[in-house]
Amino acid sequence: MHREDFDNKYRQFVRLVDDALNALVAESDAPQKTVYDAMRYSLLAGGKRFRPVLMLAVCEMLGGKPDDVVPYACAIEMIHTYSLIHDDLPAMDNDDYRRGRLTNHKVYGEAIAILAGDGLLNLAFETMLMHAEHYSSDLKRHVQAMKIIANASGISGMIGGQVVDIEAEGRDISSELLEYLHRHKTGALIKAPVMAAAVLCGADETCVKRLESYAEKIGLAFQIKDDILDVEGTFESLGKSVRKDMQKEKSTFVKLYGLDGAKNKLFSITEEAVNQLAVFGDKADFLSELAYFIAGRQN
């Protein structure tokens, strides 16, 4: 797939998601309008929308209807955004900038930032349930998709990884624990849109297995690239503080394997991810390119 075609398609997916998110978290004139404002501030700050794009792309490849999965894709982006708001809090990573703007608590204060995060997590489920309610024959698939997303974002998924990350600060950890950490903290919520789309589109067992393996590998690649960017990136390109991992004595893939070692691992795992897609033929062109996009991204 030509890079230009990939970029156009990516932009199309992003527009679908952005329009839906904008409608799902409308402005409000209720007495609690501040929390709507705070949620919109972080949710509509123009992230890469990587997770929802991934979900829409899998759905398209499997012949599903985008309308069936857009609300789930939005829910996953809400969960991702809430996790960033809470991660940035002074009690956690204490970051002042995110996506090139002040973090949520720097603008709205800590109390509202905590509640905006809670609100987004809760709204993710409200959004999915409101959508699922419209189905009857396929309702079971929708409940399964919601369960996949819920498990991925909880204590046995993303939150669990964040806990390990916090407790690992200032300690040397094994490569096994580092992979465990990222498989949960970042990997789970990259795998969830893929697996949820597969369930919603009724993919067969072989396809599900290949997609699962692809998702696990790009999830790991995503984190390795993050660690590399923390060393090589700039505030201007990333929109957030750099060299934070070193300052906070965080274990990273760069610390563990060295910069060149991390880059080699990123390269090989990206190739492995792409190889999983062979079974889908050229229908998988976008997803293949997406794997290379992760490895090459500058933010």
44 binds its own copies (CB under 8 A): no
Q: Least Å distance between CB 150 and its own copies?
A: 5
167 binds its own copies (CB under 8 A): yes
Q: Least Å distance between CB 24 and its own copies?
A: 11
Read off the tokens for 244.
Answer: 């934070």
Strands, E assignment, 89-212: 97-98, 101-102
Q: Least Å distance between CB 95 and its own copies?
A: 13
Member of 118, 212, 232, 271 binding its own copies (CB under 8 A): 118
206 binds its own copies (CB under 8 A): no
110 binds its own copies (CB under 8 A): yes
| Cβ atoms of residues 226 and 242 within 8 Å | no
* 3 state SS of 122: helix
| Binding region for its own copies (CB under 8 A) out of 2-10, 154-162, 245-253, 257-265 | 154-162
Read off the tokens for 88.
Answer: 């940035």
- List, in sequence order, every residue forming a beta bridge with 147; answer none if it has no partner: none
Instruction: Look at residues 119, 126, 13 and name the one whose alpha carbon lies nearest to residue 75.
Output: 126
Strands, E assignment, the chain: 97-98, 101-102
* Integer Rg of the chain from CA: 19
Binding positions for its own copies, rule: CB under 8 A: 30-32, 34-36, 39, 82, 86, 89, 91-92, 109-112, 114-115, 117-119, 121-123, 125-126, 129-130, 132-133, 136, 139-140, 142-144, 146-147, 150-151, 153-156, 159-164, 166-167, 177, 180-181, 184
